[in-house]
A and B are shown apart, each in its own frame.
Chain A
């Protein structure tokens, strides 16, 4: 059962917003500390661990051989899932995947898929017969707020450092997965009446609607999602889009720095 949201918390968040402050002392567009590690899971062909404030997530990439879809005989497949299991927080009681958990997986999937960063043709081994299926699984271990951005970052970092296990399947030599571009997600939430970047747990609890923006290398939009109850204006969106560009750029560089290790 979710913990109650004290009215006093909402009052505090409004008061803080009026004087341009946030409950954890950050500036309106400041990001919490992010740490990224790659290649840390021995059974995964690609892996990443993201520590983002109090949020901790792992992403693992696995490959399988499969037959292509009949209407796309020269393309491989991509599947992206996220699990929000009870391990991640007291409020997540065991049971079937919650709508929140499902939304998380689908939003991250769209961000990766719609950017076209995975060359589906390059996953073809024998046209019409054999292709690679790429499977990314994201595992949230600690929800300290803004799991969306942490999951998005872990997913792309794991993909960009993944090695196709051709030798194990006897279809050639191992090679680095062809990933062009680094789509990165930036999330905003309305807290105390105005949007802030990278909501912490308290802000998510006491805040209102949220917006997730995935930007690619040319700063094109690749996916958008608005969640929870609330309404925003185009002007508000334009403002947060500007902020997204800066943060996505920085996080893109962070991922680049991990490659070639």
Chain B
């Protein structure tokens, strides 16, 4: 995502971004829980033009034996992009990027799920990206948290995925596709709104310490907003739940 595209203008003269957002404004987010009838727990998240759908199954016996742990459950996370999710079609099959994202997403969620309750088990988290517009790994994390909660899996917190970055030497919240392609840095995070802890962190590009701090501040602010939408989606599933 780095380099060579410095001539693309991503900020208007008045400081707004190409889609009209201010530097610290998030794309619109919509969340629904319980949308897949076959799943134990599920979520649908639309973030900008990204769409992620997650199904959770489990706990169930962990197979194959080699992944089983005697003292706790394992999270078996599969992040997958549908062939039609991107501008150029993705051929189905093994994908290194997806495998890496599956791993770090599992590690993020394992930090909040109360795994010790279910020794020798696994909990399947199936993340399907139906439309991609920059930030899919973050949307996947958010959707996975809602789906886990929807499935009744105990967690000490939910994880909110959100990224900030830098374009034209300016730190901005929630990169969209053009900004991700032509920008200078990308900082996705997985934030626990309850404790303020980070369970997911990646970064690429070029950020000074001050820029990193500002990007972090933007991420935390947005995470609080997204968290409210997550909570509302879960409560809406329950008949007579509070607004």
Contacts and interface: CB of A to CB of B under 8 A. Distances in A.
- Answer whether A and B touch in the complex at a CB cut-off of 8 Å: yes
Interface of A: 1, 41-44, 47, 54-56, 58, 60-62, 64, 81, 83, 85-90, 93-94, 135, 137, 139, 141-144, 201
A42 B38 contact: no
Contacts of A137: 82-84, 89, 92
A90 B87 contact: no
- The winner among A54, A56, A81, A141 for most chain B CB atoms within 10 A is A141
A139 B132 CA distance: 15
> Chain B binding site: helix, strand, loop or mixed by DSSP?
loop
Given A87-B128, A142-B36, A142-B37, A42 B133 contact: yes
Contact of B83 (A62, A88, A93, A141): A62
List 7 tightest A-B contacts by C-beta distance, closest first: A60-B84, A87-B126, A54-B37, A137-B83, A62-B89, A44-B84, A142-B38
A44 B133 CA distance: 12
Nearest to B39: A142
Nearest to B83: A137
Contacts of A144: 37-38
A89 B38 CA distance: 6
Contacts of A1: 63
A75 B115 CA distance: 55
Interface in B32-56: 35-40, 49, 51, 53-55
A42 B84 contact: no
A64 to B, nearest CB: 7
Interface in B211-240: none
20 contacts: A1-B63, A41-B85, A43-B131, A43-B133, A54-B37, A54-B38, A55-B38, A62-B83, A62-B84, A64-B89, A83-B83, A87-B39, A87-B126, A90-B38, A94-B76, A139-B83, A139-B84, A142-B36, A142-B37, A142-B39
A175 B158 CA distance: 45
A137 B83 CA distance: 7
